[in-house]
C-alpha cells in the first residue's frame, strides 16, 4: 500500500505498523497451469533473501528498528484519537468483493482475489480444470489462528469451510480512517494480499468484526471476519 497525502495518510501509517508486526504473506503471482498439484503453493516465491538465509545466534532476539524513519517512529508521531462511529459503513464502500481490477500484488492477473489467496495459502493444491490454473478445487490449510488442519474442497456446501479473512476488518478500517480514503484506495485495501489470509471458516465467523491487538492470538496474527463473497 502507498501512503496517500491528506487525511488518509495517518491511517495508512497505522495499518502499516499493524501489518509489519504480522508474519509477511508471500507474494501473489500469475496462476499456475490448469490441473496443477503441489505440496506447497506455486505462488510462494522460493528464493530466500540473504536476511532469511541467515541463522541467528543461539539466544539472540529479533531487533526492532527504531530510527527516525522507522514504522515505530511513524506510529509515535500519529495523533491519538477516539474511534469514529460506524455510520455510513457498508461492504460496498470497499468496492467489488475479490475483484481482479486492482493494482496491488495479484491484480490484473486474470484471477479473482479469493482464489489468488487460496492458491497462495493451501498446500497440496489442485486447481479446477478449464480455469487456466485460477480456481482452487481442493487443498489443505493449516489455519493460522487455531493451528488446525482444514481440508478444502470447492463446492456449494464445502467452500465455506475455508474463508478469506482481512487482518484489519473493513468495518474497523472504516472507523479508524479508511472513510477518508477514495473509493479506489478502499478497493485496493480490501483486495491487498498483505491484508488477507485463508482461515478456518467457523473460527472466522466467530470473530465477527473485531480486530484484536497484533500478536494477541496464540498461533498467528489476529484478524476479523470476511466470508468467501463478502467482508464485514
> What are the tens digits of pLDDT across the range 49-78?
333 334 444 444 444 455 677 778 887 887
Residues 6+ apart with CB under 8 A from 187: 94, 95, 96, 99, 101, 102
Nearest in space to 111 (alpha carbons), one of 93, 99, 127: 99
- Which pLDDT belongs to residue 18? 52
Residues 6+ apart with CB under 8 A from 18: 167, 168, 214
Spatial contact of 170 and 91, defined as CB atoms under 8 Å apart = yes
- Which pLDDT belongs to residue 232? 40
C-alpha cell at 193: 494480499
42: pLDDT confidence band, cut at 50, 70 and 90? very low
Label residue 119 exposed, middle or buried (CB < 10 Å: 0-12, 13-18, 19+). buried
- Which pLDDT belongs to residue 14? 56
Euclidean distance between CA atoms 140 and 98, whole angstroms: 21
- Which pLDDT belongs to residue 210? 65
- Which pLDDT belongs to residue 56? 40
Q: Which residue has the cell 490484473?
A: 108
- Which pLDDT belongs to residue 72? 80
The whole-model pTM stands at: 0.65
β-strands 162-166, 196-200: how paired? Answer: antiparallel
Q: Which residue has the cell 498446500?
A: 123
Residues 6+ apart with CB under 8 A from 27: 43, 44, 45, 105, 106, 193
Spatial contact of 208 and 225, defined as CB atoms under 8 Å apart = yes
Spatial contact of 105 and 28, defined as CB atoms under 8 Å apart = yes
Answer yes or no: is pLDDT of 163 > 90: yes
Q: Which of 23-32, 108-117, 194-203 has the lowest mean pLDDT?
A: 23-32
Spatial contact of 150 and 136, defined as CB atoms under 8 Å apart = no
In terms of average pLDDT, the best of 64-68, 162-166, 222-226 is 162-166
CB atoms within 10 A of CB 145: 20
- Which pLDDT belongs to residue 54? 40
Q: List the domain boundaries for the chain.
A: 9-43+66-81+92-231
Question: What is residue 65's DSSP assignment?
Answer: -
- Which pLDDT belongs to residue 83? 72
Amino acid at each position: 500500500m502507498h501512503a496517500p497525502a491528506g487525511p488518509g495518510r495517518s491511517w495508512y501509517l497505522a495499518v502499516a505498523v499493524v501489518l509489519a508486526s504480522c508474519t509477511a504473506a508471500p507474494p501473489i503471482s500469475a496462476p499456475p497451469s490448469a490441473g496443477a498439484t503441489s505440496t506447497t503453493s506455486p505462488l510462494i516465491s522460493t528464493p530466500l533473501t540473504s536476511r532469511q538465509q541467515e541463522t541467528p545466534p543461539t539466544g539472540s532476539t529479533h531487533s526492532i528498528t527504531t530510527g527516525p524513519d522507522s514504522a515505530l517512529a511513524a506510529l509515535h508521531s500519529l495523533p491519538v484519537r477516539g474511534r469514529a462511529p460506524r455510520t455510513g459503513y457498508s461492504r460496498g464502500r470497499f468496492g467489488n468483493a475479490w475483484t481482479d481490477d486492482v493494482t496491488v500484488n495479484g491484480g490484473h492477473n486474470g484471477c479473482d482475489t479469493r482464489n489468488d489467496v487460496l492458491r497462495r495459502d493451501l498446500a497440496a493444491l489442485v486447481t479446477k480444470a478449464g480455469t487456466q490454473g485460477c480456481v482452487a478445487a481442493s487443498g489443505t490449510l493449516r489455519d493460522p489462528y487455531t493451528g488446525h488442519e482444514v481440508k478444502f474442497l470447492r463446492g456449494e456446501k464445502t467452500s465455506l469451510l475455508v474463508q478469506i479473512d482481512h487482518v484489519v476488518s473493513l468495518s474497523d478500517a472504516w472507523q479508524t480512517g479508511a472513510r477518508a480514503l477514495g473509493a479506489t484506495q478502499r478497493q485496493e485495501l480490501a483486495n491487498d494480499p498483505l491484508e488477507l489470509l485463508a482461515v478456518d471458516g467457523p473460527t472466522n465467523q466467530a470473530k465477527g468484526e473485531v480486530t484484536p491487538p497484533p500478536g494477541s492470538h496464540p498461533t498467528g496474527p489476529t484478524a476479523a471476519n470476511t466470508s468467501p463473497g463478502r467482508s464485514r
